[in-house]
Structure 1
Amino acid sequence: QRKLIMEHIAPTIARMHLTFPLAMDTLFSPALITRFAVSKSVDCTDLSASDHFFDAIIQNAFIPLQRNRHVWRSCIMPVPNDSGRVPVHTFNHEEFYSSSRPYSPPLSDVEEDEVEHIIIETSYNPLSSENQRFKAPRNKVDNSIWSAKERLSAEAGERVRSIEGLKMKLAQLYHNGVKIRQDAYLRIPM
């Protein structure tokens, strides 16, 4: 895998880095950028700034491995600001859709006040060692059986009927940031 990254992935990203210098301010909402970024615009070509941004917004138990600076040396230098940055949504539209399809503006243009956001704080701790371990069996057959069993448990989970009910159930679900019962699930109707 190291050879694949060194010989193919990193050089390809370095080439894209120079050909399509992207800024993430059109990919994420202004509120998210303001909350987690050091500057108003996060430069996709600046690996340190990108790493800082994505490290800040990680909200789950997945922790990426440290980047080997030797392997990624071709991508380390940010592209100068005067290189004509391409907004991510424009690049995606022009790259993946034919010119007959009309352009539609990105979601980040939606005013934050127009969308109701419900934030529910929980005591879940993504850094707890219990929450970082891989619980599924590694064997494919055992994993399929385990997944089916977990799916049945999730389908039989306790139904939540309101936001207040969800808050109350989530408060009871965790102790010191870890699920009290691993087979406990909540069902949230759509």
Structure 2
Amino acid sequence: MSKKNEKVYSEVSDKNGKFKIKLPNGSEYQIKIKSFDQDMNYTAVDVAAADYDMEFDVNISYELPKTYTLKDVHFDTNKATLKPSSYKSLNELAEFMLLKKTLKIELAGHTDSDGDPEINLKLSQRRAETVRSYLIKKGVPANRLTAKGYGETQPIADNTTSTGKQLNRRTEVRIIEQ
């Protein structure tokens, strides 16, 4: 974003994380990186006033996480029906997937250990498929999305506490191919 007139210039990086963008000279720019897991702001870059085109490199280190837990993606109890509070997070993921045209992901559904393990496995699969269907409806190509239910087999917290159970009920994004 230009600090001079607040105009936003944007570009999408390639699979190696590189991009080129043409910016008018004589202004200072704020660099912002948007990923599906977070937004990051970097210090300003000053593009000096000149009568000719200049090219320079700005190196910013960022590695897309291999696995990311989607925030605020929730389902009705014992169902694969998304709660409306899930839409914002899923819309952001869809937007990111539409920008990163080579990215392929697995949507991994997880449950807590309450109930029958086989039922939990099936429920987690249906939930992962629900998220996949939502993203497809938002325009993400189906061949870039895989849905896999893991049930209660991969807990990240203690299933004996309500907080632990809540953490274990999650949908993860796993990067398959960038």
TM-score between the two structures when normalised by the length of structure 2:
0.21
**Which structure features the higher share of helix residues?**
1
Structure with more strand by fraction: 2
The two structures have a TM-score, normalised by structure 1, of: 0.20
